[in-house]
Amino acid sequence: MCELLALSSRLPTSVTLSLSTFAKHRGAEDGWGAAFYDTGDVRLYKEPEVAAESEWLAFIQQRSLSASLFISHIRHATRGIRSLPNTQPFSRELGGRVHLFAHNGRFDSIERDYAGSWNRYRPIGETDSEVAFCILLERLAPLWDSGSIPALERRLRVFTQVAADMAAIGPANMLYSDGDVLFVHGHRRTQADGRVTPPGLWRLSRQCEKCRDTVARDHATSSRLDRRKQEVMLFASIPLSDEDWVPLVEGEVLAIRHGRLLDSAGARNFSKTETRIRALQSAG
């Protein structure tokens, strides 16, 4: 089955070991992708091949690339052929920034239910996940017309509403970033016993005063030269170690910047979160 992995950190961090563990998980053999934000752009590597056997992935691990914001996906095809256009994460430009999206789940009725909901942004491949990304970008696009980064509460409101809409038609575990904030929605996924239940994502937070060797043990390493306090937040479809991973509540939405939680909301109770989201103006 498909799996998601994301990282947000205060300082640039290598995710080599996390990515290696992630790629070895069984059941996702139709493609993989890894995206590293880097000085306003993205290093995006993806191919429609088995992740554990990929020479490209081995190359990335050898280079030990570092980033403060990272999104990855390994694919088990449920819709669309094994091909590069159907491989996640998906990327698009909006407001002069690279936006990334990855999804685990199924939206079987998305074209019927949301026909005509995307115009500027159109799918390149055949997946329902990419359609959901196009819908999200269509709704976000007006916020970026000013030429500056929109206030956080406005972006969070749109993401929360889209997450709620998508959750109504299928499992909707989603990772989205505009290069400034990582937005996460946890929902349901197919568990080891075959049932489709929460949690859809798990979270791990780590901090250290002097990150000389490791930040999250088997997950991420930081520069030996930087002695500032490091903060790291990891998200994965299933825990990658025996550390204290916390399951996301069904419908939970999180906004993270530099490894720190900015706020959370409940996509299933979207109308009840409006007051809380407005309070985010100071954080945006």
* 219 phi, psi to nearest 5 deg: -110, -40
- In sequence order, the β-bridge partners of residue 31 are 75
Residue that the structure tokens 């989205």 belong to: 176
CA atoms lying within 13 Å on the CB side of residue 76? 14
Residue type, 51: A
270/202: higher pLDDT? 202
Give residues with Cβ within 8 angstroms of 20, minimum separation 6. 61
Whole-number Cα distances in Å, 180 to 98, 156, 166? 10, 12, 23
- The first and second tokens of residue 124, run together, are 């390149």
Query: Band of the pLDDT at 211, cuts 50, 70, 90?
Result: very low
Residue 210 has pLDDT above 80, yes or no: no
DSSP 250: T
52/249: higher pLDDT? 249
Number of domains in the chain: 1
CATH number, domain at 81?
3.60.20.10
- In sequence order, the β-bridge partners of residue 202 are 236, 247
Give residues with Cβ within 8 angstroms of 95, minimum separation 6. 144, 147, 149, 178
pTM for the predicted model, two decimal places: 0.86
Residue 147, domain extent = 3-282
What pLDDT, in 10s, does the model give residues 70-80? 999 987 767 77
Residue 215 has pLDDT above 70, yes or no: no
Report pLDDT for 267: 55
What pLDDT, in 10s, does the model give residues 224-275? 445 568 999 999 999 988 889 999 999 999 999 999 999 776 654 544 444 3
Coil, strand, or helix at residue 166? helix
For residues 254 and 186, what is the distance between their CA atoms, to the nearest angstrom?
9
Report pLDDT for 66: 86
DSSP 26: T
- The first and second tokens of residue 220, run together, are 């991420």
For residues 245 and 247, what is the distance between their CA atoms, to the nearest angstrom?
7
